[in-house]
Amino acid sequence: MIFISVGTQLSFDRLTKTVDSWLSSHAEEEAFFQIAEGEYQPKNGVVQKYVGADQYQQIFEESDLIISHAGMGTIISALESGKSVIVMPRRFSLGEHRNDHQMATAERIGELGGAEVAWCEEELLAKLDDYKQGKKVTSGALSENGNLASLCTFLDGYLLQDAK
């Protein structure tokens, strides 16, 4: 199963539309979309605005692939559990967030090798095709080599800088 999570604070229709489009030609794939207050309603999977902690954990455990915004909660959960994860950051220039901190997060996590990063819809589709063809989508690399702590330190510094 593929778990698509946009977090709880903001919608991310660009992400959900892209994955839903891919799923329309891959009907054999099960998917669960957590879309927050998204306007776009995916047609190819189970859709909920929000899920409670127990349901989230169950869906997470049943999933083979996690697709997420560049939110640290989902990324860290995926890395700690060894799940394959594709991250697509929200962009300030597209009105998807209040600044570009998700771009910085995605850049750093990509450098550390903890997740596949899709910078645009076309890259997300290509990474989904790779996944479907059995190509390894990065999983657990940060927790295995100790760089998860490095990522958390980077984020703490970035967030403190952003707060000033």
CATH code: domain of residue 90: 3.40.50.2000
Per-residue tens of pLDDT for the chain, all 164 residues:
999 999 888 889 999 999 999 999 999 999 999 999 999 999 999 999 999 999 999 999 999 999 998 888 888 888 888 888 999 998 876 666 666 667 677 788 777 777 889 999 999 999 999 999 887 666 544 444 455 555 555 555 544 455 44
In the chain, the number of structural domains is: 1
Task: Please state the pTM of the whole predicted model.
Answer: 0.81
Query: What is the residue range of 96's domain?
Result: 2-163
- Lookup: tokens for 20: 């839903």
